[in-house]
Structures are given as C-alpha cells and as structure tokens.
Amino acid sequence: MQLANPVMTASGTFGYGTEFADFIDLERLGGIIVKGTTLNRREGNPYPRMAETPSGMLNAVGLQNKGVDYFVQHIYPAIKHLRTNIIVNVSGSDIESYVRTAEIINELEEIPAIELNISCPNVKQGGMAFGVTAKGANEVTKAVREVYKKTLIVKLSPNVTDITEIARAVEDGGADSVSLINTLLGMAIDAERRRPMLSTITGGLSGPAVKPIALRMVWQVSKAVNIPIIGLGGIMNARDAIEFLLAGASAIQVGTANFIDPTVTIKIIEGINDYLERHHYQSISEIIGALEC
C-alpha cells in the first residue's frame, strides 16, 4: 500500500468518510480507516457512551456497526471510487470471526489494507482480550494472515505492561504494520448523582490527554520491530503529527481532533509540508525516526 501523504483518519472518528465530505476533499487524505466492522451486526453499548474529560474524552460505543455484509453491499459501493486508501478496521469476538470478516474484505478490490482491531476496550468479549497477551495477539494475527493477502495492519492496545512484547508477537505473526495506540481504559464519575458517566462504567480515553503516552509507546515500539508504525493518540495539529514521525512512526492517524475541527486533517497535511520546507527536507522519510537523543 502506498500513501500520498502520512495523514490518515482513525477508525471510529471519521465514519465512512462521507460524513466529512462537505468539509474537506477526502481524496487529499493519505487514507481513511473506516469504522470498526464485525462479522455480524452489533448494536453497541447503551447510552450514555461519551464523557468529556480534561483535554480528552471517554467513549464506550462498543463497535456499533451493521456487519460486514452490509458494508460490502451498501457502504463499499458508495466509497470505493475515492482516490485514497480506504482501510477497513476489522474486529471480532473470536479468531473465527476475525478470519471470516478478513476473508470477505479480502475480496474487495479497492480496499488495499485492513486494520485488525485487537484492542477495543469497550466490548466485553474479545477485542482487547487478544491484544493484551503476546500469545493471543500472535495467534489472531497468524490466523488472519493466512487468509488476508493484502496489507495487514494490527492496532495495538496501550492497556498492557509492555507494548513492545505485543508488537513483536504481532510482527512474528505476519503483520505488515502496527498502529498504536488505541484508547486507554478510563473512567469518569458524576459525584452529584454518585453514578458513572458511562453506561459501561469504564471507557476508552482519547484526545490530547493521551498524547505523551502514545508518543512514548511509538518510540519504544520503533526500537523493537522492523515493520512500519502508524502512530496515533491525541494528534491535534501538524506539530503533534511531526512529533510522532520523529518518534518513529511512518504515518499517523487523526482521531478525536476530527470532532473539534472537521478540516483538521488538511491543516495537518499542509503543516507537515511547511515543516519539511522550513527545515529543507526533501521528503517525509527524512524525519521518520529522526529524533536526536
């Protein structure tokens, strides 16, 4: 998979792209990672699913989606013409459901890659269960690798003791790339009502609050694996994006920032170009992992 630029949109924050078509030219993006897709339709968690926290937000959507068949029949035809990389985020509750979903997506000509979500903190069964042990991460990656012939990205959970161990296990399993980080497990409480703010009590934290953790993990993983890294977590502007590239990411994803400024991705693309020009770099590859320390 080739990217026109390193800026992609994070799964679950950009719908299927079409939601943002009034605000930006979607074809200027390096890629769009569409909403988490599962084998069968999922209703997701009950409302309330969101709580705003200082410099961040918690969500507990729970992978609401209409299932992979609906995606193939109704959504794919509407977005496949877009001249950008449409990447499907694939989630499951057991190895079998990951494999079957990946097999179906493998048949879609205009989808150059999948992002395997082994790190969703908001579903009781599966998801993060695979992402928190090296063995589980390795097994699910291996199984999907056997059926999925195009670019396989695996999205890692930060809710682990040593993320480099998981990253290595995924690389061994045959992943072409890793993306990190998914949301951090968090919690918010309404003290007046003595109740949790989310229906699921805990949820995933995103936004600028998580950026230092994400940067640290990208830097650690870049030392541990030889496959390209896609960095994400609290990127709000071009400067944040450049920090991830310097830490070792080959590309980045913008998530929560899309909610605050639906045009932010374009500003980031332009900001990165300005930075390269200002520092007299010929190409983006010169700043990937260029951190001096």
Partner 1 sequence: MCKNSIKRKSKQVLNAYLCAQEFIYLFIMRKYIQDFRVTDCTRLHANYVLLKLAQDTPLPKILPGQFAEIRVENSPATLLRRPISINYVDRERNELWFLIQLVGEGTRHLGDAKKGDIINVVYPLGNGFTLPSDNSKNVILIGGGVGTAPMLYLGEQLKLKGITPTFLLGARSAKDLLQLEDFARYGKVYTTTEDGSHGEKGYVTQHSILSTQSFDMIYTCGPKPMMMAVAKYAKAKNIECEVSLENHMACGVGACLCCVENLKDEGNVCVCKEGPVFNIKRLLWQI
Annotated catalytic sites, by residue?
Answer: 120
- Of 228 and 234, the one with the shorter C-beta distance to partner 1 is 234
Is residue 14 a contact residue for partner 1 (CB under 8 A)? yes
Non-local (6+) Cβ contacts of 198 within 8 A are 45, 48, 49, 50, 51, 58, 60, 187, 188
Residue 55 sits in the site that holds partner 1 (CB under 8 A): yes
Burial class of residue 37, CB neighbours in 10 A (0-12, 13-18, 19+) = buried
* Shortest distance, position 61 Cβ to partner 1, whole Å: 5
Candidate residues 25, 48, 73, 162; the one interacting with partner 1 per rule CB under 8 A:
48
- The label of the residue with tokens 């699913």 reads 49
Eight-state DSSP code of residue 183: P
- Contact range with partner 1 by CB under 8 A, out of 41-49, 80-88, 170-178, 181-189: 41-49
Q: Does 22 bind partner 1 (CB under 8 A)?
A: yes
**CB-wise, 233 or 248, nearer to partner 1?**
233
Q: In the numeric block, which tokens belong to residue 51?
A: 């709580």
Measured from the CB atom, the residue of 12 and 136 that comes closer to partner 1 is 12
Q: How many CB atoms lie within 10 A of CB 292?
A: 4
46 binds partner 1 (CB under 8 A): yes
The only residue of 25, 52, 94, 110 in contact with partner 1, by rule CB under 8 A: 52
The least distance separating partner 1 from the CB of residue 221, rounded to whole angstroms, comes to 26
Does residue 259 belong to the site contacting partner 1 (CB under 8 A)? yes
Of 193 and 280, nearer to partner 1 (C-beta) is 193
Contact 271, 277 (CB under 8 A): no
Structure tokens at 34: 């569409």
Note whether 130 binds partner 1 by CB under 8 A.
Answer: no
Number of neighbours of residue 145 by Cβ within 10 angstroms: 19
Q: Scanning the structure block, which residue is given the tokens 């949790």?
A: 196
Binding test (CB under 8 A) with partner 1, winner from 37, 151, 256, 265 = 256
Beta strands in the chain (DSSP E): 7-9, 31-37, 50-53, 56-59, 85-90, 113-117, 151-155, 177-180, 184-187, 189-190, 195-196, 202-206, 229-231, 251-254
* Window 58-97: residues binding partner 1 (CB under 8 A): 59, 61, 64
- Rule CB under 8 A: which residues touch partner 1? 12-15, 19-20, 22-23, 35, 43-44, 46-52, 54-57, 59, 61, 64, 207-208, 256, 258-263
